[in-house]
Amino acid sequence: MIYFHKIVPLIISPLFFIIFLILLGIFFKSKKLTLSGLSILILCSLPVISNKLINYLEKDYHLQNIDSVNKADAIVVLSGMLRTIKNDGEYKYEFNENVDRIFAGINLYKNNKANKLILTRGKLPWNLGKSEGEYLKDFSIKNGISENDIILTDIVKNTEAEAKSIKKLLDKNDKIILVTSAFHMPRAKKIFEANGINTMPFAVDFRSKFSKTTFLNFIPSAGSFGSTSYFVKEMMGRAYYNIKINFTQN
């Protein structure tokens, strides 16, 4: 099933659709199809468009002051912030753009918002090295968190598996502070609540950009195309889980 979740978004991605249109245009010698593919490529690569799409993903959340957060029974930090590097035959790890998740979890703990820090052992079947939770546990200890207060989940492959694994670690009425990226929070919160977990969202890693609109916003870029593709992938994920949760509840 995990392969299905990862492969389908690639097939329905803007890049795949654009390549498909261009190849059809070449095969049928249709300038309209080829130009349609190129037009979609340009539109998807415009910062003025990709910025609005990312803003839409994050519109339901804002940066919170830790002082305004109510206390809970546990802080849950979702995986998705590491990349594995092989160096001299050994696996090394670096943080990616989602690193705000672990720093937020550590700060919440140090501000006494909960006395447990739950880290998910995220690891896809094709990933090498240790799971994220194992690395993040060591990282958290080095940053002043007591090892006795850190809990690791089972090996998990996606957000739904994270929720199910965390559910087993909690008492019936426990409340958690859920830490993940702002674009991912709507889907994650819905999945956790569907699994019967009392969830307080703490969104981080905001990617929305607010600045003056200049001519640069109308120049295509690879980064903007990546953001547009991310939007499509996330919306597909939300749609999938909305359908699945509604079907299960009905």
Q: Is the pLDDT of residue 1 over 70?
A: no
Asked if the structure places residue 27 within a domain, the reply is yes
Average pLDDT over residues 73-91: 92
Same domain assignment for residues 87 and 182: yes
Same domain assignment for residues 71 and 178: yes
**Among 68-72, 125-129, 131-135, 161-165, whose mean pLDDT is lowest?**
125-129
pLDDT at position 194, please?
A: 96
Same domain assignment for residues 55 and 75: no
pLDDT at position 22, please?
A: 95
Phi and psi at 75, nearest 5°, equal -105, 125
pLDDT digits (tens, 9 = 90+) for 100-116: 999 999 999 999 999 99
Domains in the chain, number = 2
Same domain assignment for residues 111 and 92: yes
| 82: containing domain | 66-204
Structure tokens at 91: 């696996």
Amino acid residing at 42:
I
What confidence category does residue 24 fall into, taking pLDDT thresholds of 50, 70 and 90? very high
Asked if the structure places residue 209 within a domain, the reply is no
Q: Tell me, what CATH number does 128's domain have?
A: 3.40.50.620
Give 208's contacts (C-beta < 8 A, 6+ positions apart).
51, 54, 55, 58, 182
pLDDT at position 7, please?
A: 64
pLDDT digits (tens, 9 = 90+) for 136-166: 999 999 999 999 999 999 999 999 999 999 9
Q: Is the pLDDT of residue 135 over 60?
A: yes
Asked if the structure places residue 188 within a domain, the reply is yes
Number of Cα atoms under 13 Å in the Cβ half of residue 73: 13
Beta-strand ranges (E) seen in the chain are 74-77, 82-87, 90-95, 117-122, 150-156, 175-181, 198-204
Same domain assignment for residues 183 and 75: yes
DSSP assignment letter at 13: S
101 in Cβ contact with 205 (< 8 Å):
yes
